[in-house]
């Protein structure tokens, strides 16, 4: 069993496609397929189910991928610690990101980091907060920008809160409450909502606030893109609850009304797996983020 074979298997598990996995690992697709078959022959088990439409892992494949991630993570960390003696000159850094980052400008952070450390290979994965948290625990990614949820709080992560942002009601311009300065959520109980998908922090906040206000929000449409949600609201297809930065920025015309009861906020937090030894690239990215979004408090360690 070779390390390169484990890397190829992990890439295949992430991409679910031989050609994409091969491109990610910078080898020819037939060579990657051959190495996976050699690995299967060595251990005597089928790891990958191959069809004309998709690639799926067997139970044995899932088990080996989970182990391989930790093995490769330790090896990468060890190599990173050695290379740290000479500074951040190369390496890989996988970062996760929310679908909506609010006032945190990820593009600027990535561009600044790349300018300082051009040899570091950057990968960005965009998912919901809970999916990002699981990816951190499985060492699929090393750092993630997410919003803290109840389920995330109960598991072992190291959290660095960057910003806290107000949520507001976003209404069609012709809505009866569009001219108000503030609105209670219960006043929107009769409206259809356009919301982020289940698993996102913003959906969790909407569902929880609705329950606290005595009703279950009726979800008419779902999207994980704030601009699309805003456009759908502007077209009169429903109302929404969005971070203020997404509601007042450029985009389709809507009415933005302060949410009075309950008042809601969401955070953007930089997270990593607790007790993980960060690579030099990750340490440099953490330092850069801290310099741009300075936080006065120390990181909070949330134990599982």
Is the pTM of the predicted complex or chain greater than 0.75? no
Q: How far, in Å, CA of 127 to CA of 124, rounded?
A: 10
Is the distance from CB of 58 to CB of 46 less than 8 angstroms? Answer: yes
Q: Which residue's structure tokens are 């699981």?
A: 134
Residue 20 confidence (pLDDT): 85
Q: Which of 130, 59, 31, 146 is nearest to 11 (CA)?
A: 31
Residue 162 confidence (pLDDT): 92
Cα separation values, 15 from 12, 126, 140, Å: 5, 14, 12
In the chain (304 residues long), the average pLDDT of successive 10-residue segments reads: 84 85 85 88 87 80 87 72 57 89 90 90 90 88 89 79 93 94 95 91 92 95 92 95 89 92 92 86 90 60 40
Residue 195 confidence (pLDDT): 95
Which string of b and e fits 200-234 if b means at least 16 CB within 10 Å?
bbbbbbbbebbeebeeebebeeebbebeebbbbbb
- DSSP, residue by residue, the chain: --HHHHHHHHHHHHHSSHHHHHHHHTS-HHHHHHHHHHHHHHHTS--EEE-SS-EEE-HHHHHHHHHHHHHHHHHHHHHHHHHGGG-S-S-EEEEEE-S--TT--HHHHHHHHHHH-TTSEEEEEE--HHHHHHHHHTTS-SEEEE---HHHHTS-EEEEEEEEEEEEEEE-TTSTTTT-SEEEGGGGTTSEEEEPPTTSHHHHHHHHHHHHTTS--EEEEE-S-HHHHHHHHHTTS-BEEEEHHHHHSSSS--EEEEEEES--EEEEEEEEETT----HHHHHHHHHHHHHS--SSPPEEE--
Residue 212 confidence (pLDDT): 94
Is the distance from CB of 171 to CB of 234 less than 8 angstroms? Answer: no
Domain boundaries, the chain: 1-71, 165-266
241 phi, psi to nearest 5 deg = -115, 120
Q: Which fold has domain 1-71?
A: Arc Repressor Mutant, subunit A (1.10.10)
Cα separation values, 94 from 82, 125, 145, 246, Å: 19, 8, 12, 26
Is the distance from CB of 209 to CB of 222 less than 8 angstroms? Answer: no
Residue 28 confidence (pLDDT): 86
Residue 294 confidence (pLDDT): 67
CATH of 165-266, one of 3.30.380.10, 3.10.20.30, 3.40.190.10, 3.40.50.170: 3.40.190.10
Please name the residues in contact with 10: beta carbons below 8 A apart, sequence gap of 6 or more.
Answer: 65, 68, 69, 72
């Amino acid at each position: 069993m070779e390390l390169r074979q484990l890397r190829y298997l992990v890439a295949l598990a992430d991409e679910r496609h031989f050609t994409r996995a091969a491109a990610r690992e910078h080898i020819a697709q037939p060579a990657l397929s051959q190495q996976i078959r050699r690995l299967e022959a060595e251990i005597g088990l089928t790891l990958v189910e191959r069809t004309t439409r998709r690639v799926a892992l067997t139970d044995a494949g899932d088990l080996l991928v989970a182990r391989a991630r930790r093995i490769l993570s330790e090896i990468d960390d060890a190599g990173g610690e050695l290379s740290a003696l000479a500074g951040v000159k190369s390496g890989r850094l996988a970062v996760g990101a929310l679908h909506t980052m609010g006032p945190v400008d990820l593009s600027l952070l990535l561009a600044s980091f790349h300018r300082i450390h051009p040899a570091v290979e950057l990968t960005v994965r965009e998912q919901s907060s809970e999916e990002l948290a699981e990816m951190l625990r499985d060492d699929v990614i090393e750092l993630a920008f997410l919003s803290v949820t109840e389920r995330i709080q109960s598991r072992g992560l190291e959290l660095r809160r960057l910003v806290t942002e107000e949520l507001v009601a976003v209404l069609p311009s012709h809505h009866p409450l569009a001219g108000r300065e503030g609105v209670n959520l219960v006043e929107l109980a009769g409206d259809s909502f356009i919301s982020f998908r289940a698993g996102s922090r913003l959906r969790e906040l909407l569902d929880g606030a609705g329950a606290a206000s005595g009703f279950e929000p009726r979800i008419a449409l779902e999207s994980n893109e704030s601009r699309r949600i805003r456009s759908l609201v502007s077209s009169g297809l429903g109302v929404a609850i969005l971070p203020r930065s997404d509601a007042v920025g450029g985009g389709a015309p809507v009415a933005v009304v302060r949410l009075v009861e309950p008042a809601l906020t969401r955070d953007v937090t930089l997270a990593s797996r607790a007790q993980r030894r960060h690579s030099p690239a990750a340490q440099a990215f953490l330092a850069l983020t801290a310099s741009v979004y300075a936080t006065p408090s120390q990181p909070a360690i949330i134990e599982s």
